[in-house]
Structure formats: C-alpha cells, structure tokens
Amino acid sequence: MNKIWKIFEYGYLIIAIVFIIETVIHFSEGDNKAYLFLGFSILAVFMYFFRKRYRKRFENRNS
C-alpha cells in the first residue's frame, strides 16, 4: 500500500511540472491564464509535501 502512496506523491510533482511549463507558455503569450496555472502548480507542490508528511506519519504509527 505504501508503494501506491509514493506513486501518488510523485504524480503531484509531475502535475506541478506540467503546470509550470504551461505557466511559462502562457506568460510568453501574455495570457491571463498563466496565473491560474501558477496557482495550480503551487497547490500541487503543496499537496506533494502534505501527502509525504501524512504517509510518513502513518508509517511511524504502524511501526
């Protein structure tokens, strides 16, 4: 089960990278959607660290 949680953690990082790339593309075009993608990328990075901390806490409790 822990392997599945790790996969989801790294999935959030992949999503953040995709949103950062989209942010750069939209900033270069002068589009206002860039701020939306930037917000989603920050949220995805936050979710990565939140899930990682939660998983480690769960592992320590079960040990």
Domain ranges, ordered by start, for the chain: 2-62
Separation of alpha carbons 3 and 35, rounded Å: 33
Asked whether the beta carbons of 37 and 31 are under 8 A apart, the reply is: no
- What pLDDT was estimated at residue 51? 93
What is the pTM assigned to this prediction? 0.85
The number of CA neighbours under 13 Å toward the Cβ of 35 is 3
Nearest CA to 38 among 26, 28, 50? Answer: 26
CA–CA distances in Å: residue 56 to residues 6, 18, 29, 36, 47: 10, 26, 41, 30, 14
pLDDT in tens, the chain (63 residues): 778 888 989 999 999 999 999 999 999 999 899 999 999 999 999 999 999 999 889 888 876
